[in-house]
Amino acid sequence: MLKKGIILFLSILSFHVKADDGYKLWLKYDLLKNNTKVAEYKRFSDFIDVQFPISPIIQTAEKELKKGLSGLVGATITKTVKTSGGIVFQKDNALPKEGFKIVAKNGNIVISAQTDKGILYGSFELLRQIQTENSIASINLSSSPKIQLRMLNHWDNVLGTIERGYAGSSLWKWYELPENIDPRYVEYARANASIGINAVVLNNVNASARFLTKEYLEKVKALADVFRPYGIQVFLSINFASPKILGKLKNSDPLEPEVKKWWNDKAKEVYSFIPDFGGFLVKANSEGEPGPQEFGRTHADGANMLAEAVKPFNGLVIWRAFVYGPNPKGDRYKEAFNEFKPLDGQFAKNVIVQVKNGPIDFMPREPFHPLFGAMPKTPLAMEFQITQEYLGFSTNLVFLPSLFKEVLESDTYVNGKGSTVAKVVDGSVHDYPLTAIAGVANTGSDRNWTGHFMSQANWYGYGRLAWNHEISPEQIAEEWTKMTLTKEANSQKIIRNMLLTSRETYVNFTNPLGLHHIMGQNIHFGMEPWLEKSARPDWTAIYYHRADSVGIGFDRTANGSNALGLYSKDVQNQWNNPQTCDLKYLLWFHHVSWNQKLSTGKTLWDELCTRYYTGVTEVEKLQNDWLKVKGNVDEEIFEDVKGRLAAQHREALNWRDACVLYFQTHSKQPIPTPFVKPTRTLEEMKKIVEIYQLK
């Protein structure tokens, strides 16, 4: 009796603990509570009539709709097709390749598309409409992706670790593959397909040559086989020195015939395993990675040699522009531009150059990379970082669609007003035949996939924007909250607002007014504005903030490094004048004196302190707002997010105290009222950071 009681108690307990661990992401499919809506959706849930050539992708779409409708509205989809009351898949060759149309017609919901992928995306869209409780009775909606390749880049290593990963270890269990297929691979593919992601790079750009061995290609094939029915193509990052490392050639010079042959043969081998393999992603001559420059060749020489090898199989080469020579006199801001701009027009037709969103490195805020708009003859892909390397790992709530959108909407002015970065990337500014966008993934083996539960919204939001860069962060926040967290209207509003303000909050307590690269070295966590020495000058903090007795900021006007000169005239005009430059970017481009009056009416010093202090207050607001949703979100998720917000608050205080105390050694001015001087000393703050760096 007692034993039974204990078992019952334990199972209740474990039921409670496992209530919602975040594993199902935004694809929860829990029964909706709104009965009127449920009745409406049920009217279209009797059958699925597939008037479309059957394929594994079509079967995926069918399976997903069945799963979704049975969960959300309790429907049982039967095999009997009737004239009305169901969902119909139809072919429509007039629609764009991966696009779809959803129309309520003759008592059915008709999803039409040119390709099976379009049907799959349409099915997920229909489910999203239902999950967010929109009416579908007279639905008439069409959508198609603006960018062809919508990729996730995983920085996963052979041994299962993830570079800059903060959600556990790699999802790919290399040692168990190819024999054992973790069911999680399917869940991963579903999640991606639901937001339109159609390509993944499985491994780190700092690539081990091992991925190209037969042993690993068999494993990669196993994953590609799982992802294919979800419309996802697999790519690999390659090590440029593979001919030497694996092939034992004397070098990996891209112009050597035997090196070319090695790559041609390797490409053939890769495609023999994975016939629809996407191609290679390459980080070369960057941060110690091998590349063509070792042999006096250019990035174009290297890329074109690989492009030749994958061309017979319709493969692509995605060559990264994240290169910056160690130039102590230069400005890292300009390095990639100077390296790549002269190569415009020299790349083979199946090469895409992948450019990070900003010129330095995924900072909390950066001006857009000057290469966007500067390479009309070379398709440029956007590279965003979803994992929060410089944004507080998985202890900080930072809603990244705000950042992505800010970059995408920046105007390059290359073909006049409205030549936004988004329109460069989607090909409309320069008529690129190939278009691509990549996000460095934030997924890992943590049960909730992303470490911080709220960071799921960044994966989701990245995919939604990759599909359609015109949708707003507001819409994304709303959709995600409804699908993932709560159906209660007031809590939805609170959470949506938390998400939308979170990025600015993070900027305020870390890098206000255009400060950048003042984070802790190596692990890139916390702050280290006093960092003077590193392996390279452009890895220190003082290189970027340039604080002295006069003021702070990096003069990138014509009087300084003239990085601003890399942009079109209209962009220069926007940022050239410290009096009118948007305060968001001020210290990116100007060395401003401490006593300079800003548009806010405060001096630079006072404004800087104000931002650091309000940043902390804003984190407190996030904490308080979260308390208000208790009871309306899952208890386990509630507690986890609450704990992480408390950790974020501790971090925010550290950033604030360290930064104001350190910059004060230059400004020599008091902390302005009404703010209270930190109780800790600069020396104490330095100790905290020292500990972060200990191995």
Binding track, positions 322-341, relative to ligand BDP; x by CB under 6 A: x-------------------
| In the complex, minimum distance from the CB of residue 335 to ligand BDP, in angstroms, rounded to a whole number | 13
| In the complex, minimum distance from the CB of residue 340 to ligand BDP, in angstroms, rounded to a whole number | 15
- CA atoms of 682 and 465, how far apart (whole Å): 42
Q: Does residue 449 interact with ligand BDP by CB under 6 A?
A: no
Number of residues binding to ligand BDP, judged by CB under 6 A: 9
- CA atoms of 24 and 167, how far apart (whole Å): 16
Is 287 tagged catalytic? Answer: yes
Q: Does residue 206 interact with ligand BDP by CB under 6 A?
A: yes
In this structure, what token pair is assigned to residue 464?
A: 């939604």
Pairing of strands 233-238, 199-201: parallel
Q: Where are the alpha helices (DSSP H) in 195-246?
A: 214-227, 242-245
Binding track, positions 382-421, relative to ligand BDP; x by CB under 6 A: -------x--------------------------------
Q: Does residue 283 interact with ligand BDP by CB under 6 A?
A: yes
Q: What residue is closest to ligand BDP based on CB? A: 361
| In the complex, minimum distance from the CB of residue 517 to ligand BDP, in angstroms, rounded to a whole number | 11
User: Within 13 Å and on the Cβ side, how many CA atoms surround 433?
Assistant: 6
Pairing of strands 279-282, 48-51: unpaired
| In the complex, minimum distance from the CB of residue 286 to ligand BDP, in angstroms, rounded to a whole number | 6
Q: Does residue 362 interact with ligand BDP by CB under 6 A?
A: yes
Q: Which of 380, 385, 381, 382 is nearest to 362 (CA)?
A: 385
Q: Are 211 and 220 in contact (CB under 8 A)?
A: yes
| In the complex, minimum distance from the CB of residue 361 to ligand BDP, in angstroms, rounded to a whole number | 5
| In the complex, minimum distance from the CB of residue 204 to ligand BDP, in angstroms, rounded to a whole number | 7
Q: Which of 43, 128, 146, 164 binds ligand BDP (CB under 6 A)?
A: 164
| In the complex, minimum distance from the CB of residue 390 to ligand BDP, in angstroms, rounded to a whole number | 7
Q: Are 158 and 444 in contact (CB under 8 A)?
A: no
Axis-axis angle for helices 489-510, 401-409 (nearest 10) = 70
Is 40 tagged catalytic? Answer: no
Burial per residue of 163-194, b for 16 or more beta-carbon CB atoms within 10 angstroms, e otherwise: ebbbbbbbbbbbeebbeeebebbebbbbbbbb
Q: Are 592 and 557 in contact (CB under 8 A)?
A: no
In the complex with ligand BDP, the residue whose CB is nearer, 334 or 611, is 334
Residue type, 33: K
In the complex with ligand BDP, the residue whose CB is nearer, 205 or 414, is 205
| In the complex, minimum distance from the CB of residue 541 to ligand BDP, in angstroms, rounded to a whole number | 15
In the complex with ligand BDP, the residue whose CB is nearer, 90 or 206, is 206
Q: Are 619 and 649 in contact (CB under 8 A)?
A: yes
**Can you tell me whether residue 260 is helix, strand or coil?**
helix
In the complex with ligand BDP, the residue whose CB is nearer, 206 or 251, is 206
Q: Are 655 and 613 in contact (CB under 8 A)?
A: no
In the complex with ligand BDP, the residue whose CB is nearer, 283 or 369, is 283
Pairing of strands 100-105, 108-113: antiparallel
Q: Does residue 426 interact with ligand BDP by CB under 6 A?
A: no
* Active-site residue, from 125, 335, 361, 555: 361
Q: Does residue 163 interact with ligand BDP by CB under 6 A?
A: yes
Residues within window 295-324 making contact with ligand BDP, judged by CB under 6 A: 322
Q: Does residue 21 interact with ligand BDP by CB under 6 A?
A: no
In the complex with ligand BDP, the residue whose CB is nearer, 163 or 308, is 163
| In the complex, minimum distance from the CB of residue 524 to ligand BDP, in angstroms, rounded to a whole number | 6
Pairing of strands 551-552, 592-593: antiparallel
**Residue length of the chain:** 695
| In the complex, minimum distance from the CB of residue 356 to ligand BDP, in angstroms, rounded to a whole number | 7
Q: Which of 235, 263, 237, 236 is nearest to 249 (CA)?
A: 263
Residues within window 178-197 making contact with ligand BDP, judged by CB under 6 A: none
Is 606 tagged catalytic? Answer: no
Q: Does residue 361 interact with ligand BDP by CB under 6 A?
A: yes
- 3-state secondary structure string across 23-73: CCCCCCCCCCCCHHHHHHHHCCCCEEEEECCCCHHHHHHHHHHHHHHHHHH
- CA atoms of 516 and 371, how far apart (whole Å): 19
Q: Does residue 534 interact with ligand BDP by CB under 6 A?
A: no
In the complex with ligand BDP, the residue whose CB is nearer, 448 or 540, is 540
In the complex with ligand BDP, the residue whose CB is nearer, 114 or 237, is 237
- CA atoms of 200 and 632, how far apart (whole Å): 35
| In the complex, minimum distance from the CB of residue 407 to ligand BDP, in angstroms, rounded to a whole number | 16
- CA atoms of 626 and 322, how far apart (whole Å): 38
In the complex with ligand BDP, the residue whose CB is nearer, 321 or 424, is 321
CB neighbours (10 Å) of residue 18? 11
Q: Which of 87, 113, 136, 205 binds ligand BDP (CB under 6 A)?
A: 205
- CA atoms of 494 and 474, how far apart (whole Å): 12
* Active-site residue, from 287, 548, 582, 684: 287
CA dist 569 to 332, 413, 444, 563, Å? Answer: 21, 8, 43, 12
In the complex with ligand BDP, the residue whose CB is nearer, 525 or 605, is 525
In the complex with ligand BDP, the residue whose CB is nearer, 206 or 501, is 206
Q: Are 129 and 143 in contact (CB under 8 A)?
A: no
* Active-site residue, from 20, 98, 289, 389: 389
What are residue 236's DSSP bridge partners? 280
In 191-320, the DSSP E strands lie at 199-201, 233-238, 279-282, 316-320
In the complex with ligand BDP, the residue whose CB is nearer, 98 or 389, is 389
Non-local (6+) Cβ contacts of 205 within 8 A are 153, 155, 237, 281, 282, 283, 289, 320
In this structure, what token pair is assigned to residue 64?
A: 């997903």
Eight-state DSSP code of residue 583 = G
| In the complex, minimum distance from the CB of residue 384 to ligand BDP, in angstroms, rounded to a whole number | 11
Q: Catalytic residue numbers?
A: 287, 361, 389
Given the rule CB under 6 A, which residues bind ligand BDP? 163-164, 205-206, 283, 322, 361-362, 389
